[in-house]
Structure 1
Amino acid sequence: MTYLNDHFDEKLDLSKIRDRGSKKWVAMMLPEHVRLIREYNDASKKEPRPQLDEWDLEEIQQLIEIAMKRNVEVEMKIWKNGEFIYQVGRITWVDLNKRVIEMEDIFQSFTLTFGEIVNVTIFE
């Protein structure tokens, strides 16, 4: 007589199990639920906009002025749509009326607004 436990003496090979993960639950959800879950996941990945005080803004302004005078590369830390983006290049123009900074790297030129800038680092 063989018992059920006799078959479990062999090692269980977990590599043969092919679980579909969360895909198997999507078929049982309404499209509205799926959309809300995706929106929630996207929102949870976003980082809040850092609050800069007047000292931080003054430091950013001074670093931009120094970088323009010395014509050196800078790294701009920018906050856009809940994520931080780093732009590296040389500052070519600052337009105080439009509140924009024009920069260029070896591939392209681009424009940043003052409100996007969170931090500036000078490379020397």
Structure 2
Amino acid sequence: MSSFDDFMHEKLDLSKVQDRGSKKWVAMMLPEHLKLIRQYNDDSKKIPKPELNEWDLEAIQESIELAMKRNVEVKLKIWKAGEFTIYVGKVIWVDLNRRVIEMEDTFQSFSLRLDEIVDITVLE
């Protein structure tokens, strides 16, 4: 190779090129498009609510009753707005009229909706 080819090869080393990805196209989009794209990305990260059958609901009810009788902590898995959240604490009482479960941990007391519970584990 000639010295010019060596020079061009050194100057045009494509391994050092950093592509901006989708950022380079943002300037050509309308704000409405950007909003829809962001909303789509947020929605695609959401997890659908698991469908619980009668057996699952009965198992959750039995675990809550057991935890209340033994006064032990439980780990609740809650589904809300496409995301799972884990809560750990003791079950204080259940209000079936309001469909709410009252719990407390070492720092605070809180209430959760019964319809949002997808799993429960009794911690002994």
TM-score (norm 1): 0.88
Displacement of 1:114 in angstroms is: 1.0
Amino acid paired to 2:56: D
- Give 3-state SS (helix, strand or coil) of 2:98's partner: coil
Q: Which residue of 2 aligns with 1:86?
A: 86
Instruction: Write out per-residue CA displacement over residues 28-61 of structure 1, whole angstroms, 9 at most, x where no aligned residue.
Output: 1011110110011011000001100000000000
Q: 1:103 is matched with which residue?
A: 103
TM-fit CA distance, 1:5: 2.4
Write the distance in 2 (CA, Å) between the matches of 1:41 and 1:11: 35
1:29 aligns to what SS in structure 2? coil
The runs of 4+ residues in structure 1 deviating greater than 4 Å are: none
Q: Which amino acid in structure 2 is aligned with residue 118 of structure 1?
A: V
1:60 corresponding residue in structure 2? 60
| Equivalences, count | 123
**Rounded Cα–Cα distance in structure 2 between residues aligned with 1:11 and 1:73:** 63
CA deviation string 1:82-103 (max 9, x = no partner): 0111111111111111111001
Task: Quote the Cα distance in structure 2 between the aligned partners of 1:4 and 1:33.
Answer: 46
After TM superposition, the score normalised by the length of structure 2 is: 0.88
| Secondary structure in 1 matching 2:101 | strand
Q: Does 1:49 align with 2:49?
A: yes
Cα distance change, pair 23–10 in 1 and its aligned pair in 2 (3 A): closer
5+ long unaligned stretches in structure 1: none
| Residue ranges of structure 2 left out of the alignment (5+ in a row) | none
1:24 offset after TM fit, Å?
Answer: 2.1
* Paired position in structure 1 for 2:118: 118
Structure 1 residue 26 displacement after superposition: 1.1
Identity level (%): 62
* Deviation for aligned residue 1:64: 0.3
Distance 2:99 2:52 in 1: 17
The residue number in structure 2 matching 1:76 is 76
